A = this chain, B = another copy of it.
Amino acid sequence: MNRKGILVVLSGFSGAGKGTIVKRLLSDYKQYALSVSATTRAPRPGEEEGKAYFFKTKQEFEKMIAEGAFIEYARYVDNYYGTPKEYVRQQLDAGRDVILEIEIQGARKVKEQFPDTLMLFVVTPDAATLKERLTGRGTESPDVIRDRLRRASEEAEGIEAYDYLVVNDDLDTCVAKVHALIESEHCRISRNTDYIKEMQKEMKSFCSR
């Protein structure tokens, strides 16, 4: 089977370990590509074009917005950040599963444009563990912690927009689990229609002989 890549959204609470999971998927398996964002912020020392980001001027970025070149984009402080459609399409066509580590608002926009996106939400084993992770670093002010908890609570309200829940109890298990979820998704009937139609045709031909 010539398989097409799957667009995978990985969301989850801050502190649930999304970033580590994504890194491990990219290093442990060859089939994954990380979506590279475009941004108008200046490159930091050592940041290569097309690795961490595609660097754009504000004018370029706004032109791309106008052309509908982004799956989703947002403005933080004075800079734009966006997911270029073209790059994602290329990777998917090359058979790579593209991972988008993104929060819920962005995830919803992605799902609108790519309805067969696989939507994964990573959680800590329970709310108390999450609270510990969000508050336990001991370096932030009560205000910052309160903001984080509020944001996490808002994100929790959006979980139903996702397809699967992944509990990050043990990292190795969790990475294997996410990989298995993506592999399973490749078996979905609706992702194998060409293969099925071909098989149906061949089998009909056996009967008519």
Residues of A within 8 A of B (CB): 1, 121, 123, 126-128, 130-131, 146, 149-150, 152-153, 156-157, 159-160, 162-167, 177, 180-181, 183-184, 187-189, 192, 195-196, 198-200, 202-204, 206-207
Distance of A166 Cα from B126 Cα, bound (Å): 34
Distance of A209 Cα from B150 Cα, bound (Å): 11
Q: Which residues does chain B contribute within 8 Å of A163, judged by CB atoms?
A: 188-189
User: Does the CB pair A150–B207 fall under 8 Å?
Assistant: yes
Distance of A57 Cα from B119 Cα, bound (Å): 50
Distance of A121 Cα from B156 Cα, bound (Å): 35
**What's the minimum C-beta distance from A175 to chain B, rounded to whole angstroms?**
14
Also in contact, A166 and B187, with CB within 8 A (given A149-B206, A199-B156, A203-B152): yes
Distance of A159 Cα from B188 Cα, bound (Å): 11
User: Does the CB pair A184–B164 fall under 8 Å?
Assistant: yes
| Nearest-CB residue, chain B, relative to A164 | B187
| Nearest-CB residue, chain B, relative to A135 | B206
Candidates B153, B159, B165; contact of A206 at CB < 8 Å: B153
User: Does the CB pair B200–A156 fall under 8 Å?
Assistant: yes
A-B residue pairs, 3 tightest by C-beta: A127-B202, A184-B184, A153-B203
Interchain Cβ contacts under 8 Å between A and B, 23 examples: A121-B189, A127-B198, A127-B202, A127-B203, A127-B206, A128-B202, A130-B203, A131-B206, A149-B203, A150-B207, A153-B206, A156-B196, A156-B200, A156-B203, A160-B189, A162-B189, A163-B188, A163-B189, A164-B188, A164-B189, A165-B188, A177-B187, A180-B184
